[in-house]
Amino acid sequence: MKTPESTVNSTERPDFDEKKAYVAQEEKGTAFFDDGREIELLHFVYGHPSIDEIRGSPTDVLKAIDEYGRTKKYLMNVGDDKGRIVANLIAEVKPQVMVELGGYVGYSALLFGDAVRKAGGKRYYSLERNPEFAAVIMSLVDLAGLSDVVRVVVGSSAESIKRLHAQGDLEHIDLMFLDHWKPAYTTDLKLCEHLKLVTPGTVLAADNVIHPGNPPYLEYVRSSVEQKRLADQSGKTNGVDIQTEFGRNADMYKEREGEEKLSTEIRGNPNLVYESKLVNSFEPTGLPVSAAIRTSALKQADTR
């Protein structure tokens, strides 16, 4: 869908270097995360023959994580190709404050936190619901020497955002990377709009919105102000039919983490005008993907 107030562009996909490919993701029905591999990764990195050279170097820690993903087990990281796109975006935007929703083992926190520091930024918040994953992130962030910039926050994304805002730690988001529980993309964005954390000038980078897909998020950021106002009045798009929209992906964390609660009572700011750009890239395994990797809040429409 393309409207006068919300446009979508795309870019060509570069070639993928097969030497960088991770081992294939396990077949459907087989666990591909939270089966012990995250702790195994930590032992792999700290037991690496080059551990002395790795210490204090975000780049070398990332190389060690990639080595594990290429030689041991699949890791659901953003990867080098998509990661480079966001890192270049950070260099362009130069955010003082960046937030990521969903940290997993810290690949993005290391890559993007380092980029934020190099761009002159002050803080990178990594919000991760799983306390074990968060512990892995903290350990690798410390190993890389990024603890002065990266702060790991444990808990659900919505509750963490509310808490950081209430404490006065988070007053505005310059750049936000969404790579967590897919049903929460839209509701968390609306929460950030409601708290005035996302305002004109904020840039969003969202992963996996085409594959495996996130129709509610794409519909929201592509809708015109008029369409969002009508939906807001009717309450039509405020709730998310999780099973219909996301199917199996909705249950990925449920067994270990319990039922996730969406902040469906928050209606956001329908007057924000967004512009989205689709960027073609690759998963770490080499699978070609397209992601609405960049969405910019351009302005706020007249509320009259």
- CA–CA gap between residue 303 and residue 288 (Å, rounded): 41
1 within 8 A of 224, measured Cβ to Cβ = no
Instruction: List residues bridging with 281 in a β-sheet.
Output: 289
The confidence score (pLDDT) of residue 233 equals 81
Q: What is the pLDDT of residues 235-258, one digit of tens each?
A: 665 545 544 444 444 555 555 556
CB 299 within 8 A of CB 90: no
Q: What pLDDT, on the 0 to 100 scale, is given for residue 208?
A: 84
CB 80 within 8 A of CB 66: yes
Q: Give the start-end residues of each E strand in 122-202.
A: 123-128, 150-154, 175-178
* pLDDT given at position 2: 36
pLDDT digits (tens, 9 = 90+) for 85-115: 999 999 999 999 999 999 999 999 999 999 9
Whether 45 contacts 64, CB under 8 Å: yes
3-state secondary structure of 258: coil
The C-alpha atoms of residue 43 and residue 58 are separated, in whole angstroms, by: 17
Mean pLDDT value across residues 216-229: 93
Contact present, 213 and 187 (Cβ < 8 Å): no
Please state which of the ranges 50-59, 204-213, 235-244 shows the lowest mean pLDDT.
235-244
Contact between 157 and 102 under an 8 Å Cβ cutoff? The reply is: yes
C-alpha to C-alpha distance for 152 and 283, rounded to whole angstroms: 24
Average pLDDT over residues 226-243: 70
d(CA 12, CA 148): 36
Cβ pair 116, 149 in contact under 8 A? yes
Structure confidence by residue, pLDDT tens digits, 17-28: 999 999 999 998
With vertex at residue 159, the alpha carbon angle to CA 87 and CA 243, rounded to the nearest 5 degrees, is 85
| pLDDT band at residue 265 under the 50/70/90 scheme | confident
- Compute the distance between CA of residue 114 and CA of residue 124 in angstroms, rounded to an integer: 9
pLDDT tier at 292, thresholds 50, 70, 90: low
